[in-house]
């Protein structure tokens, strides 16, 4: 995902590679097996791309890089994979960016809050304490909430210092 380059400093990548990437994918495979789900090749490839990116990625960027040196994936393939990854807790959609980011937390159905750098695009997932209050308020209003996602924009420490 492209971000402003007017910051005047190097932008950093917090993606996963090598043995760490292999371990993340193996853990995802194990979680799917335990949940009686299949991490098919397209689902695995989309998760791999999200983990490697380490920042939010738009679906069409995933489509174009899906095939590597070969042809890009068909949009339905990537969108179906993203839908599966979201439902299984492997990815989150960041609405304000219209992008997706890998979720490396193992808790099922956890609330998600994102700190999003508007300069470099670094995104950090944190556990929001306010989510319990939101869920309780929803219940009091008669809602059965299935998820809470909070997005906060600003500058990361590196961009703020840069």
- The 8-class DSSP code of residue 152 comes to E
Decide: 61 and 1 in contact? Cβ < 8 Å: yes
Higher confidence at residue 17 or residue 29?
Answer: 29
Binning pLDDT at 50, 70 and 90, where does residue 7 land? low
Rounded Cα gap, residues 157 and 105, in angstroms: 23
Model's pTM, two decimal places? 0.82
- In the structure, what pLDDT confidence band is assigned to residue 2 with cuts at 50, 70 and 90? very low
Q: What is the pLDDT averaged over residues 107-130?
A: 81
pLDDT in tens, 20-60: 999 999 999 999 999 999 999 999 999 999 999 988 999 99
- 4 compared with 41, residue with greater pLDDT: 41
Residue pair 81/48 in contact (Cβ under 8 Å)? The answer is no
- pLDDT tens per residue across span 61-111: 999 999 887 777 899 999 999 999 999 989 999 999 999 999 876 655 567
């Amino acid at each position: 995902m492209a971000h402003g380059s007017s910051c005047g400093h190097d932008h950093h990548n917090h993606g996963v590679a090598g043995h760490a990437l292999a371990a993340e994918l193996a853990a995802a495979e194990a979680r799917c097996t335990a949940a009686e789900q299949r991490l098919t090749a397209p689902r695995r490839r989309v998760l791999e791309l999200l983990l490697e990116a380490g920042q939010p990625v738009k679906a069409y960027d995933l489509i174009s890089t899906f095939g590597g040196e070969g042809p890009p994936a068909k949009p339905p393939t990537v969108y179906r994979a993203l839908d599966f990854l979201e439902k299984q807790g492997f990815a989150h959609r960041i609405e304000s960016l219209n992008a997706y980011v890998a979720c490396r937390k193992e808790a099922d159905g956890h609330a998600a809050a994102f700190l999003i750098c508007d300069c470099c695009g670094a995104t950090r997932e944190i556990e929001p304490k306010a989510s319990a209050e939101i869920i309780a308020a929803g219940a009091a209003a008669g809602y059965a909430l299935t998820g809470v996602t909070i997005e906060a924009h600003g500058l990361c420490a590196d961009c703020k210092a840069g």
